[in-house]
Structure 1
Amino acid sequence: MSRRRVRTRRAALGLAFTVAAVTALSGCSALGSDSSDGASNGGGNLEKPKIKVAILPTVDTAPLWLAQDAGYFKAEGLEVEAIVAASGQAAMTKAVSGETDISISSYMPFFVAKATGAADLQLVADATSVSPKSVAIVTVPNSPVKTVTDLGNKRIAMTAKNTASDLLAKSLMKDHGVDINKVTWVQMPFPNVGAALQSGQVDAALLPEPFLTQTAKTAGAIPVIDVNTGATQDFPLSGYGSTRKWVQANPKTLAAFQRALQKATSEMNKDRSKIEPLLVKYAKIDEDSAKLLGLPSFGVKLDPRRIQRVPDLMLQMGAITSPVDATQMIAPQTD
């Protein structure tokens, strides 16, 4: 592949995972449970001192959990109630419908909604990007797949068409000269991939953490290729969004949310030990797995140029049919 083509694909790449992983958490988490105390500082200055955030019980949500447990939201005069959603799409839908004020999702549903006119959304905070060993195409030792070039004509698991597990796998394979049109794509949720690999139902799958580590433990899954390489290196995975109407009506509330989340993210980036207990407590990941996870990169602020890789890839791969300017979707960012 020419350097020009690689650069084009790299500029276009960016997509996050619609994670369909609801674990033992119920519909309303423990976040924001200390409502009797109210806000400690400046709650009266916020348009909405009590907000609901649709979340996923995954690694991506760790900064929000830290901001809650460490009292950063409360220090901003903000009380946060977390509502667990079944997927990124479901989380975004909760914000669009008004059931929650903000949601975390893979970036893709936000851009699909914008491109199709289904909703006028804004991105309010960054969450994660790919980092080494955080996302990989995997197989099992007895699979016929040994290298990325073996993926042609094979059965590969994905969560759904035009999700990250679909588009990122296809993009990575294209970069290595694999004919994706000859692949049999098998739709299934991430938690089912291990059993499917063991039984031979599929030959390979693209998995993010924590499913990468969990499937290695339960099914002996081994990496075929790390996604954090070449054209797929460092691309955006997930972020927080809300409706433009909510953002415009609640600028002080949004700024308080952003400040608390940024503080927690900065702390986590300096000290991994702050993350692991949160994964055990909220994502229900066992302690051994929490120590082994290849963590994604946690973003402190939204970078328009980086986020633009998401809709560019989606347009290139046919997930959307019209261009979307990411800059126009990014809400004001607090310092």
Structure 2
Amino acid sequence: MFDEAVSSRRDYGRRGFLSLAMAGGVALTASGCGLLGGSDDSGSAKGGSGVEKAKIKVSIMPTIDVVPFHLAVQNGYFKNEGLEVEAVDAASGDASLQKLQAGEVDIAYASYTPFFIAKSKGAADIKLVADASSAGPKSTEVVAMPNSNIKNVHDLAGKRIGITATNTICDTLTKSVMRDNGVSFNDVQWVSLRFPDIGPAVKRGNIDAGFLTEPFITQSAKVNGTVEVIDTASGGTKDFPTAGYGSLGKFTDANPKTVAAFQRAMLRATKESADRSKIEPLMIQFSKVDEATAKITNLLTFQSTLDARRIQRVPDLLQQFGSIQSKIDVQSMIVPQANAS
């Protein structure tokens, strides 16, 4: 199981900016990245007059694909839209969703699988607010030790594979590649570990292989000597949607202008994230990676605007694996998408 969610919160107002500019970093709990610096506090909010709720809370994880969120904070894009954003750390997608359901946050970042599983069970009226990422080449992998008997996907049958949790993007992508290659995953032993612990567990022999995302793939190769067994962003899961931002229907219905402001800020920051030079300093400061590692880390593909046809791949695959029992119509879950301001 995941460790308990990180309880510290970061208020991205003026004082939060100043304190974070001096901070050395945050502890990793799931998979990699944080935020950098502050922004000018002198300008007036361009979009502030129309939002229904100016102060919102967003649960996030320290992952690379939240870099656009951090850039939106750093460059004042939320502020320009009239939003004061407080980020609440979560240790996993499930933990992030739980915070949303408990009313602790207004918007939650998570891999798509917890959102769709909650929707399928009727546990929450999930609405998708913004996209976050797709799996880029070699950005999600199953790794093992070079001297192990696991050399390819066929060797994974019946093995102990480390993942963050079952019914997540970790086992879903792994199962898909195994199935595409005619390998049974029914007798796989899925072992729940935090991302930072998977590489060391592989090295010690506590597990036979492990699913990792970047920058943990690059870090583990450097520190533990692990090597790629399969690139899980290949075959049927090439460019597979991995994560996004969700909310509850009662919030999106009551606050459409607030949601649109969040979307515009995220869209602007996502476009800026195409410049890798803006991403690497964030990885160095908050992912606890050195400059050399940051430069060679394979990145996820950043996304922002939700495309129902693309996202539909996720619940369809989950249904195939029995994680959800009936078809989910993604289009009905997507709130109207705002254009950049």
TM normalised by structure 1 equals: 0.88
CA–CA separation in structure 2 for the residues paired with 1:243 and 1:215: 37
Question: What is the 5 A alignment of 1:248-259?
Answer: 248-259=253-264
Q: Which residue does the alignment assign to 2:283?
A: 279
Alignment-mate amino acid for residue 203 of structure 1: D
Give yes or no for contact 1:173–1:179 (8 Å, CA) kept in 2. yes
Which deviates further from its counterpart, 121-130 or 185-194? 185-194
Which deviates further from its counterpart, 190-199 or 34-43? 34-43
CA–CA separation in structure 2 for the residues paired with 1:160 and 1:49: 35
Alignment deviations for residues 74-100 of structure 1 (CA, whole Å, 9 cap, x no partner): 111111111111111111121222211
Indicate yes or no: 2:311 matched with 1:330.
no
Q: Which residue does the alignment assign to 2:305?
A: 301
Aligned length: 315
Q: Which residue does the alignment assign to 2:193?
A: 188
CA–CA separation in structure 2 for the residues paired with 1:199 and 1:155: 13
Indicate yes or no: 2:15 matched with 1:31.
no
Aligned-pair CA distance for 1:22 = 8.6
CA–CA separation in structure 2 for the residues paired with 1:186 and 1:101: 31
Give yes or no for contact 2:48–2:80 (8 Å, CA) kept in 1. no
Q: Which residue does the alignment assign to 2:240?
A: 235
CA–CA separation in structure 2 for the residues paired with 1:284 and 1:21: 19
Give yes or no for contact 2:131–2:304 (8 Å, CA) kept in 1. yes
Alignment-mate amino acid for residue 319 of structure 1: S
> Which of 222, 227, 234 is the matching residue for 1:222?
227
Give yes or no for contact 1:155–1:183 (8 Å, CA) kept in 2. yes
Give yes or no for contact 1:49–1:78 (8 Å, CA) kept in 2. yes
CA–CA separation in structure 1 for the residues paired with 2:173 and 2:3: 19
Question: What is the 5 A alignment of 1:75-94?
Answer: 75-94=80-99
Indicate yes or no: 2:222 matched with 1:209.
no
Structure 1 gap segments, 5+ residues each: 1-17
CA–CA separation in structure 1 for the residues paired with 2:136 and 2:292: 20
Q: Which residue does the alignment assign to 2:32?
A: none
Change over 3 Å in CA distance of 1:26–1:278 after alignment to 2: farther
CA–CA separation in structure 2 for the residues paired with 1:183 and 1:76: 48
Q: What SS class does the counterpart of residue 180 from structure 1 fall into?
A: coil
> Which of 297, 319, 322 is the matching residue for 1:318?
322
Alignment deviations for residues 289-335 of structure 1 (CA, whole Å, 9 cap, x no partner): 32221100011310100111111111110111122111100011002
Give yes or no for contact 1:96–1:119 (8 Å, CA) kept in 2. yes
Which deviates further from its counterpart, 188-197 or 246-255? 188-197
Structure 1: which 4+ aligned runs deviate by more than 4 Å? 20-23, 33-39
Change over 3 Å in CA distance of 1:102–1:288 after alignment to 2: same
Change over 3 Å in CA distance of 1:318–1:38 after alignment to 2: farther
Change over 3 Å in CA distance of 1:282–1:256 after alignment to 2: farther
Structure 2 gap segments, 5+ residues each: 17-40
Q: What SS class does the counterpart of residue 29 from structure 1 fall into?
A: strand
Which deviates further from its counterpart, 104-113 or 33-42? 33-42
Which of structures 1 and 2 has the larger relative contact order (alpha carbons within 8 angstroms, sep 6+)? 1
CA–CA separation in structure 1 for the residues paired with 2:10 and 2:286: 8
Give yes or no for contact 1:58–1:279 (8 Å, CA) kept in 2. no
Matched residues, percent identical?
A: 52
TM normalised by structure 2 equals: 0.87
Over the aligned positions, Cα root-mean-square deviation in angstroms equals: 2.1
Q: Which residue does the alignment assign to 2:29?
A: none
Aligned-pair CA distance for 1:195 = 1.7
Aligned-pair CA distance for 1:38 = 8.9
Q: Which residue does the alignment assign to 1:264?
A: 269
Q: What SS class does the counterpart of residue 131 from structure 2 fall into?
A: strand
